[in-house]
Structure 1
Amino acid sequence: MIPSPGDGWSRLSPRKLLLDPVKAIGQAFVPVVVALVGISQSDGGFGWVLLPIAVVAPLLFGALPWLTTHYRLTDTQVQVRSGILSRNTSTAPLDRVRSVDLEASLLHRVLGLQKVEIGTGVDDDRITLDALAAADARALRTTLLRRREPPTTGPVEVADAPVDGEVAVPPPSAPPAVELARIDWSWLRFAPFSLGRLVLLAGALGVLSQFGNDLPIWNEETARSAWEWIIQFALVTVVLVLAAGALAIWLVVSVAGYVVQWWRFLLVREHGSLHLTSGLFTTRSITVEKAKVRGVEMTEPVLMRLVGGAELSTLATGVEDGVTQVLPPCPRDVAIGVGETVLEHRGPLTAPLVEHGRLARRRAWFRQLREAVFLVVVAAVAAWWFDVSWWWVGAGGVALLLLAAAVGESSYRHLGHALTGDHLVAGSGQLARVRTVLETDGIIGWVVSQTWWQRRIGLADLVATTAAGNERVLVHDVRLEVAVALADAATPGLVREFLVEPAEAG
């Protein structure tokens, strides 16, 4: 049971005595094996004496956190005390609690435990309780979030004691949770079109290559015989088979990763917060206070747009990283619906954007073509140095320039801005289309910057500074007079001095 306000210090769950030693042994397994192998090959005779120490030490150090960690809930604070030689006490005022996140790895779930992380929104430091019994963790989360809610304003009527024949009216209960979205397994069709898991696949191939270099099959004779075997068949057939195999592997990896990450996904609104749960092996329970959400960001990767998919994240203050993905890859209509519900305003995610004109298009093309020309020059120098056929350089250069032109046009088409009611909307992205929506109440300042090239053609970058998300929303390559007018319309009076004509200022 969680401690009630005013109770004394409590320990974490006794099952932590099983959790931490297993984790400690897992972390120390490789170093201990290496040390024992080295000792066994030495001339000393004390190797087997160290074996009990190598086993007992992780168990002992794994048990120390349970012995030295206590926590309690007072009328005003949640407090955690830990440490042996250096005692550390962490506190969080109950009215400053902004998030209570729950997480459970596979080992946690086997033991019926959960890790609780309490955030106050002041900095990235969080109060962590690892581990509480699952029921106690959920009860603590509910208690902290409810005590964080402001009291009901206005007079409160106190019911008199019921008289004979009358029924006492119970106090009003908390509003029920409102479901915003839950997993729909038809969304699996979007998994192969999200390239985020290519990083994991590339890492696995890198590890495999490290071990593969040491295998005896990789030598010149083997490579030559393998190539001779391949050229016996049609090269196109070999390429098609390899492409089909790579596609099959990617389908398995992407779909499996989607299932593992978003298993039993549920997004609800309760206790004045957005609450997200998901995960197959490691379950996550993330809380984002609704009052701290200042906007949303909808991302449509280039491949996902082909099948009408999108992703949605919230921009909030007082949460780790500021950007929290609240929807998996899903239909664009679902992302728009949930985003409008979070914003409590319709239009920002679908409103047409103001185009930035031909000068902005020219700069978008120029940026991409400049990088492509640089790569072509590098390739030409390398071809001259290594005496490579210039035909390959020419073909590659033409393909690279065409790709750069396509990316430049794509980045311009994604560019734009709008002001819809109380929300600033900024469009950006090169291949992926990104629409960022920020409440104008969340804007704390403006930055107008111009490079030398931008000054020559009258363009500027307008940055809305905020405490939410990545702490800035960029409107790129907009005409200077439009940038200043947009800032003044979004936050009247904040940039008024920049609108004063020189003659009036004199």
Structure 2
Amino acid sequence: MSEPDWQRLSARNLLIDPVKVLGQFAFPAAIALVGISSGDRAMPWWAVPVVALGAVVFGVLPWLTTFYRTTDTQFQTRSGLLNKKSKTAPLDRVRSVDLEASLLHRLVGLTKVQIGTGVDDDRITLDSLTVREAADLRAFLLSRRAPVTVPADADTLPAGADEVATPGGVRTGEPARVLAEIDWAWLRFAPFSLARLVVVAAAVGALSQFGDQLPVADTAESAWHWVAQFALSLVIAGLVIGALVSWIMVAVTGYVVQWWNMRLTREAGSLQLTAGLFTTRSITVEEKRVRGVEMKEPVLLRLVGGAELATLATGVGSGGVTAILPPCPRSVATSVGADVLETHEPMSVALTQHGPAARRRAWIRQLWGALLVTAIPLVASLWLAVPTWLPVVVGVVALAFAAVSGESAYRHLGHATTPEHLVVGSGELTRVRTVLEHDGIIGWVVQQSWFQRRLALATLVATTAAGAERVVARDIPLTAAIRLADASTPGVLSPWLS
């Protein structure tokens, strides 16, 4: 049998690759041209055409030198002009096929394809194919491990199935099942998620660096002093309101940009997440690699009944943790988590608390932090002109916060087992429920500090290849830890039971 022909990337790349290269050249070229123009000699007339021509040449090269093809057993690519590079991926080892389209790609109907085998973070990238070519290639690659494939006869397709023509002349007949879609009523949770706080911090940092050099800096400072003399309380109130409004705008805008048109589906043995306003991403996680889920309820989000959900998987990027839902109602996160796990029990089972000794440990950890914070102004008052009331106020606030966070940390502790999953509760201000398959547990680590031994407590660690590679049950009674491990993986710690 003859080998299939090599195929090029889409010719539409010739419309966007030169533009991307020109964007990369623009800044250094502008600096060079300004430097030349500021000298004694004028900028040569041919400078701009040369830069544009160089961008076109470098932009055309990827299309001229990149090829791909699919054989009976492998997906292959080759690229490079002087340094040739070839990559292959066995078809039965393909674990993910992710699609990504920036705004520029979408304007000309192109999509970037990233193919992963789960071995490492190195992926085969095709930048770019047409939307239809990318969808057909994705369907074909995933169909090689899909449980259901049927001939390309429309009469044999199940009712409601999407007909997807593949390069191999096969159609996948498994209908996609929608697990979740964006509901814009969820926007109310955006201000209570601090994920965008880093953007605000960066903006404040940049303003603090360059604010003094602004031409209106002196005027603004004078105006501030004048207003502060007459209505300081109103100014403070205005600043607080302005900060809150700005934060709401940043949070809502970031939420919309990241999660626009979000859709989570189960198809061909994979979970597929599509989202994004300016850059649309379609991420694939093979279900065989999903070992569990993690539901987080940050303190502010929990106050309004919200939660976040992520999968714990092996052989994927982002540390094995893939967020599959935006901040949304807790009931939605629980329901989608149950759909991913294909059982409701791990998401709703009541957790066994760790007892009074664990509560004391949680309180003591927080009280040590409060004492340290209180000691700082107390020591400073011995040498500096610090108001005598400041250490008292700091101490009262720190102790109150320690009491709240200590009790919260204890209440979040817990553990449970179901026939197929280990469930662990953790977190201090953020409540975390981690669900891990018993089959995903590699081994156990039982740790005891000197203080834990005196209280007959232990830290039980389930090691795994998924997610952060460990699930930790802190300050669990030692006998309960052994029973929990033995229930999840019978026989591993049986000798300890005696």
**TM-score normalised according to structure 2 size:** 0.91
Equivalent positions of 1:107-126 (< 5 A) are 107-126=104-123
Which of 136, 143, 162 lines up with 1:139 in the alignment? 136
Q: Is the 8 A contact 1:36 1:47 kept in 2?
A: no
Amino acid at match of 2:209: Q
| 1:452–1:224 CA distance, 2 compared to 1 (3 A) | farther
Q: Give the superposition deviation at 1:443.
A: 0.5
Aligned to 2:266: 269
**Residue 430 of structure 2: aligned partner:** 432
Sort the Cα spacing of 1:170 and 1:51 in 2 relative to 1 into closer, same or farther, 3 A.
Answer: closer
Contact 1:24 1:58 in 2 (8 A): yes
Counterpart of 1:209 in structure 2 is 208
Describe the shift of the 1:453–1:57 C-alpha distance in structure 2 as closer, same or farther (beyond 3 A).
farther
Q: Is the 8 A contact 2:113 2:129 kept in 1?
A: yes
Deviations 1:357-414 (A, max 9, x none): 1221122122222223223323334444442223223212321221122111111111
Question: Which whole-Å CA distance do the structure 1 matches of 2:109 and 2:223 have between them?
Answer: 55
SS in structure 2 opposite 1:213?
Answer: helix
- Aligned match of 2:32: 35
Instruction: Give me the whole-angstrom Cα distance separating, in 2, the residues matched to 1:213 and 1:29.
Output: 29
Of 403, 406, 414, which residue of structure 2 is paired with 1:416? 414
Q: 1:91 aligns with which of 63, 88, 99?
A: 88
Residue by residue over 1:147-182, the C-alpha shift from the partner in whole angstroms, topping out at 9 and shown as x without a partner, is 222578xxx9x9xxxxxxxxx984877231111111
In the other structure, the counterpart of 2:190 is 191
Paired residues of 2:109 and 2:130 also in contact (CA < 8 A): yes
Q: 1:475 Cα deviation (Å)? A: 0.7
Q: Name the residue aligned to 1:377.
A: 375
Q: Report the secondary structure of 2:375's partner residue.
A: helix
- C-alpha separation in 1, matches of 2:139 and 2:119: 21
**How far 1:44 sits from its partner (Å)?**
5.9
Contact 2:148 2:174 (C-alpha < 8 Å) held by counterparts: no
Q: Are residues 1:61 and 2:58 paired?
A: yes
* Deviation string, structure 1 residues 298-339 (Cα, Å, up to 9, x no partner): 111111112211111111112112111111111111111111
Distance 1:262 1:346 in 2: 26
The change in CA–CA distance for 1:24 and 1:397 in structure 2 (over 3 A counts) is farther
Whether the 8 Å CA contact 2:97–2:142 is kept in 1: the answer is: yes
Q: Is the 8 A contact 1:6 1:75 kept in 2?
A: no
Q: How many residues are paired up?
A: 481
Residue 66 of structure 1: how far off its partner (Å): 1.7
2:316 to 319, 326, 348: 319
Is 1:494 matched up with 2:492?
Answer: yes
Map Cα deviations across residues 412-459 of structure 1 (whole Å, 9 max, x no partner).
111111112211001111111110000101101111122333233222
Name the structure 2 match of 1:341: 339
1:469 paired with 2:493, answer no
Distance (Å, rounded) in 1 between the aligned partners of 2:366 and 2:61? 56
Q: Report the alpha carbon displacement of residue 257 of structure 1 after superposing the two structures with TM.
A: 1.5
The question of 1:24 aligning with 2:21 is answered: yes
Question: 1-side partners of 2:405 and 2:317: how far apart?
Answer: 32
Superposed CA offset, 1:189-235 (max 9, x none): 1111111111112212222333322113334x8635522322312x3
Counterpart in the other structure of 2:164: none
Q: Which runs of 5+ in 2 are unaligned?
A: 159-171
Q: Tell me the secondary structure at the aligned position of residue 493 of structure 1.
A: coil
CA contact (8 A) 1:297 1:314 kept: yes
Q: After superposition, where does 1:278-317 map in structure 2 within 5 Å?
A: 278-317=275-314
| Partner Cα separation in structure 1 for residue 60 and residue 132 of structure 2 | 22
Q: CA deviation at 1:122?
A: 0.9
Match of 1:296, SS? strand
Distance 1:21 1:469 in 2: 39
Question: CA contact under 8 A between 2:33 and 2:43: conserved in structure 1?
Answer: no
Closer, same or farther: CA 357–50 of 1 in aligned 2, 3 Å: same
- Equivalent AA in structure 1 for residue 403 of structure 2: A
Q: What secondary structure sits across from 1:114 in the alignment?
A: strand
Which segment is superposed worse, 480-489 or 237-246?
Answer: 237-246
Deviation at 1:479, TM superposition (A): 1.7
Say which of 4, 14, 19 aligns to 2:11: 14
SS at match of 2:296: strand
Which residue does the alignment assign to 2:168? Answer: none
Are the counterparts in 1 of residues 147 and 268 from structure 2 also a CA contact under 8 Å? Answer: no
> Do the aligned partners of residues 383 and 492 (structure 1) sit closer, same or farther apart at CA in structure 2, a change above 3 Å counting?
same
| Alpha-carbon distance in 1 for matches of 2:41, 2:247 | 51
Separation in 1, partners of 2:27, 2:368? 49
For residues 209 and 24 of structure 1, the distance between their equivalents in structure 2, rounded to whole angstroms, comes to: 33
From 48, 68, 74, the equivalent of 1:71 is: 68
Determine the C-alpha separation between the residues in 1 that align with 2:244 and 2:62. 46
The one-character-per-residue Cα deviations of 1:225-263 (angstroms, maximum 9, x if unpaired) are: 522322312x33322222221111122111122111111
- Residue 365 of structure 1 corresponds to which residue in structure 2? 363
Return closer, same or farther for 1:141/1:188 CA change in 2, 3 Å cut-off: same
| Aligned partner letter, 1:409 | E
Selected match of 2:243 from 223, 242, 246:
246
* Equivalent pair of 1:114/1:131 in contact (CA under 8 Å): yes
CA offsets, 1:11-59, max 9 Å, x none? Answer: 1111212222222222232222222222333456676665544443333
> In the alignment, is the contact (CA less than 8 A) between 1:197 and 1:254 conserved in 2?
yes
Task: Report 1:386-401 matches (<5 A).
Answer: 386-401=384-399
Give the distance between the partners of 1:61 and 1:279, measured in 2 at CA. 29
- How far is the alpha carbon of 1:87 from its aligned partner? 1.4
State the SS of the aligned residue for 2:272: strand
Aligned partner of 1:435: which letter? R
Measured in 2, the distance between the counterparts of 1:227 and 1:383 equals 29
CA distance in 2, matches of 1:460, 1:425: 17
Q: Which SS does the other structure have where 1:90 is aligned?
A: strand
- Classify 1:60/1:401 alpha carbon distance in 2 versus 1 (closer, same or farther; 3 Å): farther
In 2, Cα distance between equivalents of 1:386 and 1:281: 53
Q: 1:214 to 1:74 in 2, by over 3 A?
A: same
Alignment TM-score, normalising by the size of structure 1: 0.89
The superposition leaves residues 87-107 of structure 1 with CA deviations (integer Å, 9 ceiling, x where unpaired) of: 111111111111111110111
Kept after mapping to 2: 8 A contact 1:6/1:73: no
